[in-house]
């Protein structure tokens, strides 16, 4: 069962995840291209654009890219053929140019639409949106990958290294002082001997190490070090570690059991977290609603239940767009 409590408390507005904003812009673009929007849907789109300057900017960029890809390939081919007919001695040049241009467009499209592709190639284990995976490593240690995550494993006689390329993972480490267990993500390294802890490599201020058992030393490329014990966590941003703080690891790591717990968080932050478990995003088209503070629990296997709970608890409505996008307003 999903439950939500509304809290009337002041809260600073959360910054939207950049990739989430792009996903929302693409979702709106697809819906608008299909046409037949109702008056309410079009108003929701206008409100979404007006709610944050980045929304309009992201939509403009998505529309520009859409137009670029929509250019009929046959038109390009015909123009090249005309040039080749006028200047036969340059046929080879234009043929090479055409191939190069096609590859540029393909690679540009991949870089925009599939930002995780390279990481997937580099990884040993990957999870899709909404997937959770338990993995046993060669040394007997175990790791649990949360939704949309990727790791690369590099074990040697001297040390055990896991690179968290993106997402979130929980590690249960078998003790071996002669062979330390190291988790790397970006500029940050977490060193453990025999312990249990999680590492998050998400966007914005969501980078974190949280320890549920034992001791973990966290260091950065800027030569900062923090030592964590059970029920402590540390976050970092731009390669700089923040102050170590106490944390309720049972709630913080509830995702391992298929739940996410949030307390006194802005709805925008909650939906950003829920979207990690969905193929297509939930969009909030109302700035006032996005600032509302709520508390509750949702099952990661049923992220749509959050929308149902919100519409029964808040003065809010919701509708679905083709493809699975949902809009709250």
In 10 A of CB 43, how many CB atoms?
13
Q: Is the pTM of this model over 0.75?
A: no
Least-confidence region, from 16-30, 83-97, 313-327: 83-97
Asked if residue 112 has pLDDT above 50, the reply is: no
- The answer to whether residues 313 and 4 touch, using CB atoms and an 8 Å cutoff, is yes
- The answer to whether residues 19 and 276 touch, using CB atoms and an 8 Å cutoff, is no
At the second CATH level, the architecture of 133-252 is Sandwich (2.60)
Asked if residue 74 has pLDDT above 90, the reply is: no
Name the pLDDT band for 322 (thresholds 50, 70, 90): confident
- DSSP conformation letters of 243-280: --EE--HHHHTGGGGTEEEEEEEEHHHHHHHHHTT-SS
Alpha carbon distance 281, 108 (integer Å):
23
Alpha carbon distance 137, 159 (integer Å):
13
Alpha carbon distance 242, 237 (integer Å):
8
Return the closest-CA partner of residue 244 out of 254, 230, 261.
Answer: 230
Name the pLDDT band for 24 (thresholds 50, 70, 90): confident
pLDDT digits (tens, 9 = 90+) for 215-261: 999 998 877 899 999 999 999 888 789 999 999 999 899 999 999 88
pLDDT digits (tens, 9 = 90+) for 146-172: 999 999 999 999 999 999 999 999 999
Q: Pairing mode, if any, of strands 150-155 and 293-299?
A: unpaired
Q: CA dihedral defined by 277, 252, 9, 283, rounded to 10 degrees?
A: -10
Tokens of 11: 């809260």
Asked if residue 11 has pLDDT above 60, the reply is: no
User: 117 or 279: whose pLDDT is higher?
Assistant: 279
In 10 A of CB 181, how many CB atoms?
25
Question: Which numeric CATH code is attached to 3-56+256-328?
Answer: 3.55.50.30
Contacts of 199 (CB under 8 A, 6+ apart): 164, 168, 169, 171, 183, 185, 190, 208, 209
């Amino acid at each position: 069962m999903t439950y939500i409590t509304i809290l009337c408390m002041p809260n600073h507005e959360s910054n939207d995840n950049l990739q989430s904003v792009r996903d929302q812009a693409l979702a709106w673009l697809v819906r608008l291209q299909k046409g037949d929007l109702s008056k309410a849907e079009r108003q929701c789109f206008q409100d979404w654009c007006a709610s944050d300057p980045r929304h309009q900017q992201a939509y403009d960029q998505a529309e520009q890219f859409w137009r670029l890809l929509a250019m009929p390939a046959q038109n390009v081919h015909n123009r090249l053929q005309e040039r080749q007919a006028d200047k036969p001695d340059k046929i080879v040049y234009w043929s090479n140019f055409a191939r190069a241009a096609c590859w540029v467009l393909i690679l540009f499209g991949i870089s925009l639409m599939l930002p995780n592709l390279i990481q997937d190639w580099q990884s040993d284990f990957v999870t899709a949106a909404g997937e959770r995976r338990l993995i046993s490593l060669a040394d007997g240690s175990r790791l649990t990958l949360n939704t949309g995550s990727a790791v690369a494993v590099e074990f040697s006689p001297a040390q055990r290294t896991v690179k968290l390329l993106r997402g979130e993972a929980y590690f249960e480490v078998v003790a071996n002082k002669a062979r330390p267990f190291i988790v790397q993500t970006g500029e940050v390294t977490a060193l453990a001997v025999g312990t249990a802890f999680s590492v998050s490599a998400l966007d914005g201020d969501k980078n974190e190490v949280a320890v549920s058992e034992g001791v973990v030393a966290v260091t950065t490329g800027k030569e900062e070090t923090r030592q964590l014990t059970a029920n402590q966590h540390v976050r970092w941003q731009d390669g700089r570690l923040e102050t170590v703080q106490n944390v309720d690891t049972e709630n913080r790591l509830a995702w391992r059991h298929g739940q996410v717990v949030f307390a006194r968080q802005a709805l925008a932050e909650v939906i950003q977290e829920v979207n990690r478990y969905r193929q297509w995003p939930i969009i909030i088209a109302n700035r006032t609603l996005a600032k509302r503070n709520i508390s509750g629990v949702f099952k990661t296997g049923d992220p749509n239940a959050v929308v149902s709970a919100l519409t029964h608890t808040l003065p809010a409505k919701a509708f679905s767009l083709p493809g699975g996008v949902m809009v709250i307003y």
